[in-house]
């Protein structure tokens, strides 16, 4: 009887383990599914934020000196121009209008003219609507040629680099005004290197 009871107990224990395993498998699958959902939602969220809200851009070249230095990292607010428009003095990231048929490059420039503004460069200075523009962010007068008055068309902006040394910046003096659709966002902060962190 004892042996019979022992054999019967082993059979029951084995059945119990099988049932326990059957109960565990759905729990493991559910945990995996929750993990996959979390990763998927996180990926979608990061993608949406990158496309429509913000990203980080690295400064290349010297066209925005002394304000920006090469290799600095910028926090770019993309959302701000989905609900508003650029303002005078904004530092913006834009698609290079002169890159026809080439891989699209991004430029960083400052907005100096709004739709309807008349822009002129005379005697090495920038004028907007006939008035001399105060530009505390530059370290030299404009060393390139003067420019006849130009009126910024509707929906477009006139941009220049802060570096006013000769041939230092490719900007609206070369490729003309920039449509709002080509402006990707506003550079709001320098975020790296940490000693240079500041708002723009």
Identify which of 95, 122, 60 has the alpha carbon closest to the alpha carbon of residue 183: 95
Strand, helix or coil for residue 56:
strand
Domain-by-domain residue ranges, the chain?
A: 1-52, 54-199
Q: From the candidates 109, 156, 169, 172, give the one annotated as an active-site residue.
A: 109
Contact (CB, 8 A) for 110 and 162: yes
Q: Give the Cα separation of 35 and 84 in Å (integer).
A: 38
Q: Is 63 a catalytic residue?
A: yes
State residue 147 phi and psi, 5-degree precision.
-135, 135
Q: Is 57 a catalytic residue?
A: no
> pTM, whole model, 2 decimals?
0.76
- Angle, CA of 181, 183 and 189, to the nearest 5°: 150
pLDDT in tens, the chain (200 residues): 333 333 444 444 444 444 444 445 557 777 777 776 666 665 565 555 555 556 888 999 999 999 999 999 999 999 999 999 999 999 999 999 988 766 778 999 999 999 999 999 999 999 999 999 999 999 999 999 999 999 999 999 999 999 999 999 999 999 999 999 999 999 999 999 988 999 99
Q: From the candidates 11, 29, 37, 63, give the one annotated as an active-site residue.
A: 63
The superfamily (CATH) of domain 54-199 is: Umud Fragment, subunit A (2.10.109.10)
Q: Give the Cα separation of 144 and 127 in Å (integer).
A: 15
């Amino acid at each position: 009887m004892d042996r019979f009871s022992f054999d019967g107990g082993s059979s029951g224990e084995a059945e119990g383990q099988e049932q326990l395993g059957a109960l565990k498998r759905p729990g493991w699958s559910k945990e995996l599914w929750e993990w996959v959902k979390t990763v998927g939602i996180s990926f979608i969220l990061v993608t949406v934020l990158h496309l429509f809200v913000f990203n980080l851009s690295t400064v290349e070249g010297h066209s925005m000196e002394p304000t920006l230095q090469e290799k600095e990292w910028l926090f770019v607010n993309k959302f701000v121009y989905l609900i508003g428009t650029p303002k005078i003095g904004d530092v913006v990231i834009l698609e290079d209008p002169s890159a026809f048929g080439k891989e699209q490059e991004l430029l960083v420039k400052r907005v100096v003219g709004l739709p309807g503004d008349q822009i002129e460069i005379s005697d090495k200075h920038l004028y907007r609507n006939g008035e001399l523009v105060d530009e505390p962010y530059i370290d030299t007068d404009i060393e390139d040629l003067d420019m006849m008055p130009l009126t910024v068309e509707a929906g477009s902006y006139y941009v220049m680099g802060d570096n006013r040394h000769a041939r230092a910046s490719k900007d609206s003096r070369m490729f003309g005004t920039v449509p709002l659709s080509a402006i990707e966002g506003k550079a709001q902060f320098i975020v790296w290197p940490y000693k240079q962190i500041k708002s723009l």
